[in-house]
């Protein structure tokens, strides 16, 4: 009776509001409020970095003068509510703020996060022509406030996200950000290019349509739902661009698609503008098929080495760096098979069988075993949503299935063959370069946030989990009644409609993080210098803190070579690493930030906390070296080629930083090309979702229970689910090749 009364009251109120409120409409791009950061502020930050750099250089190999580059921090993966999924996350039923505009991103980046550069990357399929125009205008406005182009306080880039996903591993290419150096209309494509198949509106729009009935239970937020409905209708009304026509000759207001990477590269070639394409989130199993791998993406024409020069190893969706030999599904004779659990991995398909076993009750033993096998098979076929073969189960019943237990802040439902390490280890023997080397990925490593609330660079502090991460969900227990799912027969697993791409929203909230940050070694503080550093891969990523990191090949031909370099060497390579921890943060915001924004806007955007460094740095606890020897012949097992860590150096507890030198004595005699990169690990500090599902194990190492950090009312909305974690920085690799064989 209570549920009926609530429904009746909601319908009455909603009807009243619907009569009084105007119909839905467009959301404006917002107004930038904050002014340029002061020169004293910027010069103070530069001086502190130069001091740390000088102190480390005095302890390092200074046989050659180090080039006077500065490290600039940024975020190359930012969404606003022009992305439909970002709009969804802010609906009133989720208890959040409702709107985050492109102008908000400019103010947050400049005065909350105090980063040096960022890019806009709303989903291409969610742009209306007007929104693309407005985004470009905000980019120009944000840059206009930056001061002199030769020394701006912040640099803003334009771009979009090419958001491709598919049900089968063979047709799945993953998500990529497209970023441009220019900001004027004549330097940018007339329209973003999406990845939608013919006749499709995209998964995000489909899910948004499914959420619209929530408006009947949130009458006070009727206008938000009406505005979302307006946007969805407008997107559906945009005509598709004609096929086979040069992108420059298409109408300006049509929706342009490139279903594969090769078609995306072709269209960008037609425009002729320089661009960088950054794959991201590849190991994130919420949309990646269980058997997907990097292999097919390496072969031409699906890889463009001139554009795909970087990869995002860490974001708010977690860490996609690490390879593991286990897999959530196996192929046997062309058919999917469920692997047995191991001490370090529990497949969800296997756990589906165990859940079924627990439901057998008085079923005959043979029938029970048949249903256990059926549950495992249906979970395999469910692909990205195995949990929904038993839609009435609680998240805890699935324990920590399909998760990487020993990875740092791992991506949800981890896909090891889509990890960055796997990508760096494989070779394409169907293509060779001038020196006879097989085709390979040569990615530089970055991190970014993938923030969906127009908050670039959120990882400066671990606070406000539901505003600074993807941890969203229904804000009240009453609304939670809408999520309860029943089964026709609780003793029989159900087939999942994978075409609708359902999401395991409960467990994924334990794998959401404030996100990472990208650092560039730039020759000066300018747009051209940042872009040049990105192009030459002289970049690194961190899990959020602004760790300082240098990684150099000391004995390269012609002198010291920085991270991202590719060299030919006949002797053993010698390396040097210099690292200093991020500054410990003071509470609140600096006077620079407090004076830049009104109290209301500072609270709305920054939630009371800004990047506010103290005088002491966190200690670098260790330097880890990863060595990868790419495949030398077809079918060479990848697990034998990734040495992680190959070397580990514990650092003295010195807040001034850590210097490490090492050499690979095996290189010359090995006859193999090798790449090396390093991780600088800080001392452990409290981190949001630092323990993910907070899994407990028995004496034999089996998972026995979990305590998920829910994004909804089931975890207190003010609980940040903090646990100790070692924040870190990942350098870009240095690629050291053997001399070409004579003849």
Over range 68-91, report the average pLDDT.
Answer: 93
Q: Which class for 231: exposed (0-12), middle (13-18), buried (19 or more C-beta within 10 A)?
A: buried
Q: To the nearest 5 percent, what fractions of the chain are helix, strand and coil?
A: 30, 20, 50
Helix axes 222-237 and 203-211, enclosed angle (nearest 10): 150
The confidence score (pLDDT) of residue 478 equals: 64
Strands, E assignment, 563-691: 566-568, 574-580, 583-585, 613-617, 620-628, 642-650, 658-663, 674-682, 685-688
pLDDT (0 to 100) of residue 205: 78
pLDDT for 689-724, tens place per residue? Answer: 999 999 999 999 999 999 999 999 999 989 999 999
Place 503 in a pLDDT band, splitting at 50, 70 and 90.
Answer: confident
At 157 the pLDDT is 98
Q: What's the CA gap between 168 and 729, in Å, rounded?
A: 33
Spatial contact of 122 and 79, defined as CB atoms under 8 Å apart: yes
Kindly tell me if the per-residue pLDDT of 67 is higher than 70. Answer: no
Nearest to 727 by CA among 482, 354, 456, 461: 461
Q: Please give the backbone phi and psi of residue 650, each rounded to the nearest 5 degrees, phi first.
A: -75, 140
Rg (CA), the chain: 26
pLDDT in tens, 378-428: 999 999 999 999 999 999 999 999 999 999 999 999 999 999 999 999 999
How many Cβ atoms sit within 10 Å of the Cβ of residue 290? 24
- Does an H or E element contain 194, and which? strand 193-194
Distance between CA atoms of residues 414 and 285, nearest Å: 5
Task: Calculate mean pLDDT across residues 148-163.
Answer: 96
Using alpha carbons, select from 451, 404, 442 the residue that is nearest to residue 420.
442
Among 65-74, 134-143, 301-310, 696-705, the minimum mean pLDDT is found in: 65-74
Judge whether 75 and 517 are in contact, CB under 8 Å: yes
Quick check: 664 and 371 in contact, CB under 8 A?
A: no
Q: What is the pLDDT of residue 53?
A: 92
Tell me: pLDDT of 13 over 70: no
At residue 258 the predicted structure's pLDDT band, cuts being 50, 70 and 90, is very high
Determine the pLDDT at residue 14. Answer: 44
Task: State how far the Cα of 359 lies from the Cα of 399, in Å rounded to an integer.
Answer: 16
Q: Residue 10's pLDDT is what? A: 45
Average confidence (pLDDT) over 311-329: 97
210 pLDDT higher than 80: no
The alpha carbon of residue 259 and the mean position of all alpha carbons in its chain are separated, in whole angstroms, by 21
What pLDDT is recorded for position 199?
65
Distance from C-alpha of 666 to C-alpha of 643, rounded to nearest angstrom:
14
| Mean pLDDT value across residues 634-658 | 96
pLDDT score for 481? 63
Closest CA to 569 of 686, 736, 344, 425: 736
Is 498 or 345 the better-scoring residue by pLDDT?
345
Candidate from 428-437, 438-447, 471-480, 499-508 with smallest mean pLDDT: 471-480
pLDDT at res. 23: 80
329 CB burial (10 A radius; 0-12, 13-18, 19+) = buried
Output the DSSP codes for 111-172.
IIS--SEEE---BGGG--HHHHHHHHHHHHHHHHTT--TTS-S-EEEEEEEEE---SSGGG-
Average pLDDT over residues 23-29: 91
Mean confidence (pLDDT) of the chain? 92
Tell me which residue of 681, 520, 514, 521 sits closest to 611, measured CA to CA.
514
Is residue 187 over pLDDT 80? yes
The secondary element (H helix, E strand) that includes residue 209 is helix 203-211
Q: What is the DSSP string of 20-38?
A: HSPPP-PPP-------PPP
Is the confidence at residue 207, as pLDDT, over 90? no
Q: Is the dihedral of CA 82, 87, 90, 91 positive or negative?
A: positive
Cα distances (angstroms) measured from residue 309 to each of 84, 299, 321, 344, 668: 28, 15, 16, 33, 27
**Cβ atoms of 466 and 472 closer than 8 Å:** yes
Which string of DSSP letters, residue by residue, matches 536-580? TT-EEEESSS--EEEEEETT-TTS-EETT-EEE-SS--EEEEEEE
Question: How confident is the model at residue 133, as a pLDDT?
Answer: 97
**Structure confidence at residue 60 (pLDDT):** 77
């Amino acid at each position: 009776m209570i549920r009926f009364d609530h429904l009746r009251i909601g319908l009455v109120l909603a009807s009243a509001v619907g009569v009084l409120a105007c119909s839905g409409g467009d959301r404006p791009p917002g107004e930038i409020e904050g002014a340029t950061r002061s020169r004293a502020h910027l010069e103070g930050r530069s001086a502190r970095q130069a001091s740390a750099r000088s102190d480390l250089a005095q302890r390092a190999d200074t046989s050659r003068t180090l080039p006077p580059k500065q490290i600039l921090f940024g975020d190359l993966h930012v969404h606003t509510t022009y992305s439909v999924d970002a709009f969804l996350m802010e609906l009133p039923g989720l208890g959040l703020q409702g709107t985050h505009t492109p102008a908000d991103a400019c103010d947050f980046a400049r005065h909350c996060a105090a980063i040096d550069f960022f890019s806009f990357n709303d989903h291409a399929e969610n742009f209306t022509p007007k929104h693309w125009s407005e985004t470009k205008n905000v980019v120009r406005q944000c840059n206009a406030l930056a001061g002199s182009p030769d020394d701006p306080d912040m640099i803003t880039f334009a771009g979009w996200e090419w958001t491709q996903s598919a049900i089968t591993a063979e047709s799945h290419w993953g998500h990529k950000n497209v970023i441009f150096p220019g900001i004027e209309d004549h330097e940018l494509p007339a329209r973003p290019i999406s990845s939608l198949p013919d006749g499709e509106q995209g998964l995000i729009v489909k899910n948004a349509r499914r959420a619209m009935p929530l408006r009947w239970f949130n009458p006070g937020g009727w206008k938000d739902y009406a505005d979302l409905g307006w946007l969805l209708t407008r997107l559906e009304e945009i005509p598709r661009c004609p096929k086979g026509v040069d992108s420059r000759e298409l109408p300006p207001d049509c929706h342009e698609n490139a279903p594969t990477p090769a078609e995306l590269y072709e269209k960008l070639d037609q425009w002729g503008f320089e661009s960088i394409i950054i794959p991201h989130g590849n190991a994130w199993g919420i949309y990646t098929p269980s058997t997907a791998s990097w292999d097919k993406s390496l072969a031409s024409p699906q890889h463009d080495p001139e554009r795909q020069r970087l990869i995002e190893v860490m974001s708010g969706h977690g860490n996609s760096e690490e390879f593991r030999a286990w897999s959530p599904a196996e192929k046997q004779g062309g058919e999917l098979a469920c692997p047995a659990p191991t001490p370090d991995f529990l497949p969800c398909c296997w756990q589906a069988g165990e859940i079924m076993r627990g439901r057998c009750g008085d079923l005959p033993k043979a029938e029970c075993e048949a249903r256990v096998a059926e549950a495992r098979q249906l979970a395999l076929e469910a692909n990205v949503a195995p949990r929904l073969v038993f839609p009435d189960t609680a998240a805890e019943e699935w324990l920590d299935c399909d998760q990487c237990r020993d990875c740092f802040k791992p991506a949800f439902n981890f896909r090891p063959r889509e990890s960055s390490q796997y990508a760096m280890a494989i070779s394409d023997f169907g293509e060779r370069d001038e020196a006879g080397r097989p085709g390979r990925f040569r990615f530089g490593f970055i991190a970014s946030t993938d923030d969906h609330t127009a908050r670039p660079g959120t990882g400066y502090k671990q606070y406000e989990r539901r505003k600074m991460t993807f941890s969203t969900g229904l804000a009240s227990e009453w609304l939670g009644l809408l999520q309860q799912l029943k089964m026709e027969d609780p003793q029989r697993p159900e087939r999942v409609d994978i075409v609708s791409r359902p999401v395991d929203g409960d467990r994924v909230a334990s794998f959401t993080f404030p996100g990472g940050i990208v650092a560039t070694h730039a020759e000066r503080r300018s747009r051209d210098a940042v872009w040049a550093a990105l192009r030459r891969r002289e970049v690194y990523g961190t899990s959020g803190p602004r760790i300082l990191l240098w990684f150099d090949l000391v004995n390269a031909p012609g002198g010291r070579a920085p991270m991202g370099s590719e060299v030919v060497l006949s002797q053993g390579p010698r390396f040097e690493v210099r690292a200093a921890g991020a500054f410990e943060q003071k509470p609140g915001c600096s006077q620079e930030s407090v004076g830049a924004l009104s109290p209301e806007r500072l609270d709305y955007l920054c939630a009371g906390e800004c990047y506010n460094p103290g005088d002491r740095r966190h200690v670098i606890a260790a330097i880890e070296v990863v060595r990868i020897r790419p495949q030398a012949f077809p079918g060479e097992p990848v697990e034998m080629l990734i040495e992680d860590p190959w070397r580990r150096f514990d650092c003295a507890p010195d807040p001034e930083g850590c210097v490490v030198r090492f050499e690979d004595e095996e290189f010359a005699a090995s006859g193999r090309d090798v790449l090396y990169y390093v991780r600088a690990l800080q001392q452990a500090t409290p981190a949001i979702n630092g323990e993910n599902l907070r899994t407990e194990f028995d004496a034999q190492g089996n998972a026995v229970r979990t305590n998920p950090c829910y994004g909804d009312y089931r975890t207190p909305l003010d609980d940040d689910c903090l646990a100790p974690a070692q924040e870190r920085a990942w350098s870009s690799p240095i690629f050291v090749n053997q001399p070409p064989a004579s003849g």
